Amino acid sequence: MVVARLAGRRLRRLLRIFPAVAVCGPRQCGKTTLVRSLYPRAEIFDLERPSDLRRLEADPEHLLRSLKPPVILDEAQRMPELFPILRALIDERRAQPGRFVLLGSTHPDLARRISETLAGRIGFLDLDPFSYLEVAGHGVTLGDLWLRGGLPDPCLILDRRARQEWMESYFRTFVERDLAGLGVEVSVPQLRRFWYMLAAAHGSIWNASEFGRSLGLSYHTVSRYADILEHGFLLRRLGPYFVNLGKRLVKSPKVYLTDTGLLHAFIGIETARQLDVSLGRGASWEGFVIEQIIRREKLAHPESRFYFWRTATGQEVDLIVERPRRRVGIEIKLGSRVDPADWKTLRYAIDALHLDRAYLVNQADKPYSPLPGLEVVPAGRLMGATRWDL
């Protein structure tokens, strides 16, 4: 099944502007599939494949110069010696856009090497797992996507046992091949325990010291493990939003596993029924909606920044979306009913945070506006909207 990706349009636009574009995202999110679907005749080098490596190592400058653009370099961070060559080739014809596409699963590592050699010559696109709009026409319901997550293979696999096997393989590949190939040494049992604990703490305030005490690890080791997962696009640390309110605010980030399929695999949820009765379903839903909103917002407004807001007295907004000239607050609820206390918090947040708009996203039947500047939006309607407009 071929699923058209929303990011395709942005990739084409970037390639009309920059000589090179880096497409980064988690392992198995569909980076190679995306570029193959857009550029089926392009030359692709998989730098994890020995035969492709040998072709490039022989005379990379001559080979890359002779090929018709765009040239695709998959897992580009595996061959850092290519970056100075790419810079020289780009500078020979600086005005020509769309010559190279670099694919990578470790954004900070790739970004660091790019910043050293290709600054000003390259654009960036982060490719996320599926958004609801992308799969809604392929027989995947909103509940399916929430349960299975958005990584293409498990999202489209109907058999739950096959999905569980896939998830276990994903973990082992990430630790034993991806990290090892990048020279990152970790304790596999410790990282697995850390990942389990993150799944249990999904949607909670991040406290590295408490994590370390629970796992018998140092603060620095726990922080390093969190960095590893964040660099692999598997963990989101959502930072707090600060304004000068004269109030005590929560100053630590909240942590979410970015894919609910992986989250559910770690906490033992395999079926919709198990998810329905899980004590963690509220936090799972919150993280799911946050990721879906961020995925759509980044494509429409790449300059946007994302936060949460919480006071020491318990007033909270789950997600703040901040653009240069617009600030939106979003509260997320699992059910379809709305507690009047939610209006009070959102009404206060509109004034205190100078929000242009506030939304309560839940599973209501239809949207409505109970107060000026405040709207209740059904989750499926928001995520399935063809036009993104917060």
- Number of folded domains in the chain? 2
Q: Please spell the DSSP secondary structure of 254-281, one letter per residue.
A: EEEES-HHHHHHHTT--SHHHHHT-TTH
> Can you give the pLDDT at residue 141?
96
Task: Flag whether 1 is in a domain.
Answer: no
Task: Flag whether 2 is in a domain.
Answer: no
Q: Are residues 118 and 168 in the same domain?
A: no
Task: Flag whether 243 is in a domain.
Answer: yes
Final residue of a structural domain among 77, 105, 126: 126
Q: Are residues 122 and 141 in the same domain?
A: no
| Long-range CB contacts (within 8 A, 24+) of 267-271 | 267/196, 267/199, 267/200, 269/147, 270/160, 270/163, 270/164, 271/147, 271/160
Q: Are residues 175 and 258 in the same domain?
A: yes
> Can you give the pLDDT at residue 181?
65
Residue 97 token pair: 């856009």
> Can you give the pLDDT at residue 239?
94
Specify whether the CB–CB gap between 171 and 26 falls below 8 A.
no
Give Cα separations from 270 to 136, 139, 157, 197, 289 (angstroms): 21, 19, 12, 18, 19
- What is the mean pLDDT for each group of 10 consecutive residues in the chain (390 residues)? 92 96 93 95 92 89 94 87 92 94 74 77 94 95 97 91 92 80 77 93 94 91 91 93 66 94 95 95 98 97 95 88 96 86 85 93 90 91 93
Q: Are residues 190 and 121 in the same domain?
A: no
Residue 75 token pair: 């897992």
> Can you give the pLDDT at residue 105?
78
DSSP H helical segments within 6-100, as ranges?
A: 7-15, 31-38, 50-58, 60-66, 82-92
Neighbour-count burial of 277, counting CB atoms closer than 10 A to its CB (0-12 exposed, 13-18 middle, 19+ buried): exposed
> Can you give the pLDDT at residue 282?
96
Q: Are residues 61 and 173 in the same domain?
A: no
Q: Are residues 92 and 170 in the same domain?
A: no
Q: Are residues 60 and 176 in the same domain?
A: no
Task: Flag whether 389 is in a domain.
Answer: no
Q: Are residues 98 and 156 in the same domain?
A: no
Task: Flag whether 142 is in a domain.
Answer: yes
Q: Are residues 250 and 340 in the same domain?
A: yes
Specify whether the CB–CB gap between 179 and 188 falls below 8 A.
no
Q: Are residues 141 and 260 in the same domain?
A: yes
Task: Flag whether 55 is in a domain.
Answer: yes
Give the sign of the dihedral formed by CA 46, CA 50, CA 55, CA 61. Answer: positive
Final residue of a structural domain among 107, 126, 145: 126
Task: Flag whether 195 is in a domain.
Answer: yes
Q: Are residues 176 and 110 in the same domain?
A: no
Final residue of a structural domain among 76, 91, 126: 126
What is the domain range of residue 112?
A: 7-126
- The alpha carbons of the chain give a radius of gyration, in whole angstroms, of 22
The pTM of this model reads: 0.93
The CATH code of the domain that includes 119 is: 3.40.50.300
Distance CA 350, CA 327 (A): 10
Closest CA to 147 of 168, 126, 130: 130
